[in-house]
Amino acid sequence: MTPLVQASGLHVHYGASHILHGVDLQIRAGESIGLLGRNGMGKSTLIRSIMGHVAPTEGQIIIRGRDSTRARPHQVARLGVAYVPEGRGIFPNLDVRENLLVAARPGYDGRRDWTCASVLQIFPRLQERLGHGGQQLSGGEQQMLAIGRALMTNPDVLILDEATEGLAPLVIAEIWRIIRAIRETGVATLIVDRNYRKVLAHTDRCVVLEKGIVVEARDSAALAQQSALLTRFLGV
Ligand SMILES: Nc1ncnc2c1ncn2[C@@H]1O[C@H](COP(=O)(O)OP(=O)(O)OP(=O)(O)O)[C@@H](O)[C@H]1O
């Protein structure tokens, strides 16, 4: 099956800093991928280049068989790739329902599986806060709303960068429950999170970045057994 997203030989520079050194990444329909690596190894840069926020200096990004190496973020979104960046991005002056509704859009193939009602079904907490303004929500609720807004675009791929960052343990557990529920609906996911054990437990496959190079790419269950390797690339 042709991958939904295929990045090949990506190089990215920020000015004179060479950040990604020939990275390959594939995301197939329905699969869940973890992107692992210590701070500053290039995970967000890889995601930002797939999303069209950063232009690669070399290499190619193919989405649904189309060359999307120079695509703009809204074009990538229209191809069915949704991104929840670090730091959220919801409308503070709109309430929960309005935040969801303004994001609503049919998917690439016209699907409308995700509606306000189906999103609220997996986010009971948001259901309770429907009339609250974005700025009245807790950090965890804002994060849930950001994920909910991404689902309202009916994506085939959902990219979550540090979705649990700065949240309380109970809320983090709720976010992982939501990630599992989304995965079960068949939406492909690409997940970056500091808790690599959780990432390994919630994904099919993991890719490990070390200084902008892919040093490991294998099944999450197999990688979880490789404690020496995990300590080497991810241990503190
Ligand atoms: N806009 C930018 N301009 C210059 N350098 C940047 C920029 N964004 C990131 N960098 C640098 O690029 C490198 C990779 O950063 P990136 O955010 O991709 O890493 P990461 O693996 O996602 O780590 P983190 O978990 O800390 O976000 C880092 O050295 C970072 O300082």
Per-residue pLDDT of the chain (236 residues; tens, 9 = 90+): 789 999 999 999 999 999 999 999 999 999 999 999 999 999 999 999 999 999 999 999 999 999 999 999 999 999 999 999 876 778 999 999 999 999 999 999 898 999 999 999 999 999 999 999 999 999 999 999 999 999 999 999 999 999 999 899 999 999 999 999 999 999 999 999 999 999 999 999 999 999 999 999 999 999 999 999 999 999 86
Cα-to-centroid distance, 142 and ligand 1 (Å): 24
d(CA 101, CA 167): 25
∠ CA(224), CA(226), CA(231), 5° rounding?
95
Q: Which of 83, 103, 106 is nearest to 94 (CA)?
A: 103
Quote the pLDDT of residue 236.
Answer: 62
Contact 34, 198 (CB under 8 A): no
- CB contact set of 92 (below 8 Å; sequence gap of 6+): 133, 134, 135
Domain with residues 5-234, CATH architecture: 3-Layer(aba) Sandwich (3.40)
Q: Can you give the pLDDT at residue 89?
A: 76
Buried residues in 121-159 as b, exposed as e (16+ CB within 10 A):
ebbebbeebeeebbeebeebbbbbbbbbbbbbbbbbbbb
CA 23 – CA 159 distance, rounded (Å): 17
pTM: 0.94
Ligand 1 pocket, mutate which of 13, 36, 39 (most atoms under 8 A from CB): 39
Phi, psi for residue 132 in degrees, rounded to 5: -80, 145
| Pick from 56, 7, 58, 1: nearest CA to 207 | 7
Residues near 11 by Cβ (< 8 Å), separated by ≥ 6? 18, 20, 21, 22, 56, 57, 58, 59
Residue 16 Cβ contacting ligand 1 at under 6 Å: no
Q: Is 45 near ligand 1, meaning CB less than 6 Å away?
A: yes
Binding site membership of 37 for ligand 1 (Cβ less than 6 Å): yes
Q: Could you tell me the sign of the dihedral formed by the alpha carbons of 224, 229, 234, 236, in that order?
A: positive
- Which tokens go with 145? 């709303």
Taken in order 1, 206, 229, 225, the sign of the CA dihedral is: negative
Any idea what the Cα angle at residue 80 is, between residues 116 and 27, rounded to 5°? 120
Note whether 149 and 91 are within 8 A (CB): no
Q: 97 C-alpha to center of ligand 1: Å?
A: 34
Q: With contact defined as beta carbons under 8 Å apart, do 182 and 144 qualify? A: no
Query: What separation in Å is there between the alpha carbon of 74 and the centre of ligand 1?
Result: 22
pLDDT at 87: 63
The ipTM assigned to this model is 0.95
Q: Check pocket membership of 49 for ligand 1, CB cut-off 6 A.
A: no
Pocket probe mutation, ligand 1, options 10, 19, 193, 207, max atoms within 8 Å of Cβ: 19
Could you tell me if the CB of 220 is within 6 A of ligand 1? no
Span from the CA of 42 to the centroid of ligand 1 (angstroms): 6
